């Protein structure tokens, strides 16, 4: 069981490194720093969901079906993920970055966000009753 967890951590770290490499290369190959904004949005994206889920259900014994705070955190997370896709698209449309840099930046950003979500799912605490 421990070797399976170690293999998962190594694989997720490898995918995270590839995502950051794509975002950094999208900025370095075309000598433009705008694609690096995507890495910042994908790193910040899980934070509202994490914070709002902590404040969403203060009572451990009563399970509520929904909370406005949790929904607001999901909204902000969705907004930041969508911004990570839309920002390079708008920058490429306006001519601030090249189209291949946009593609590398979006794909690398999605790898970064997917890896962060996978890490949080992998290290989620088991609920005990």
Which residue bears the tokens 């969705």? Answer: 78
Q: Quick check: is 71 in a domain?
A: yes
For 25-42, how does the pLDDT look when each residue is reduced to its tens digit (9 = 90+)?
999 999 999 998 888 888
- Whole-prediction pTM value? 0.81
Domain count, the chain: 1
For 48-84, how does the pLDDT look when each residue is reduced to its tens digit (9 = 90+)?
988 988 876 665 555 555 688 888 999 999 999 999 9
Query: Mean of the per-residue pLDDT values for the chain?
Result: 86
- Quote the domain boundaries for residue 85: 8-56+66-122
Q: Quick check: is 109 in a domain?
A: yes
**DSSP character at residue 126:** P
Q: With the CA atoms of 35, 36, 37 and 42 taken in that order, what torsion angle do they form, in degrees rounded to the nearest 10? A: 110
**Mean pLDDT value across residues 91-97:** 95
């Amino acid at each position: 069981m421990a070797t399976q967890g170690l293999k998962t951590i190594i694989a997720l770290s490898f995918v995270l490194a590839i995502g950051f490499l794509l975002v950094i290369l999208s900025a370095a190959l075309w000598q433009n720093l705008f694609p690096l904004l995507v890495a910042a949005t994908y790193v910040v994206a899980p934070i509202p969901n994490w914070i709002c889920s902590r404040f969403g259900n203060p009572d451990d014994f009563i399970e509520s079906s929904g909370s406005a705070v949790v929904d607001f955190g999901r909204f902000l997370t969705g907004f930041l993920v969508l911004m990570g896709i839309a920002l390079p698209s708008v920058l490429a449309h306006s001519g601030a970055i090249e189209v291949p840099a946009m593609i590398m930046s979006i794909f690398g950003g999605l790898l970064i966000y997917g890896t962060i979500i996978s890490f949080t799912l992998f290290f989620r605490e088991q609920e005990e009753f």
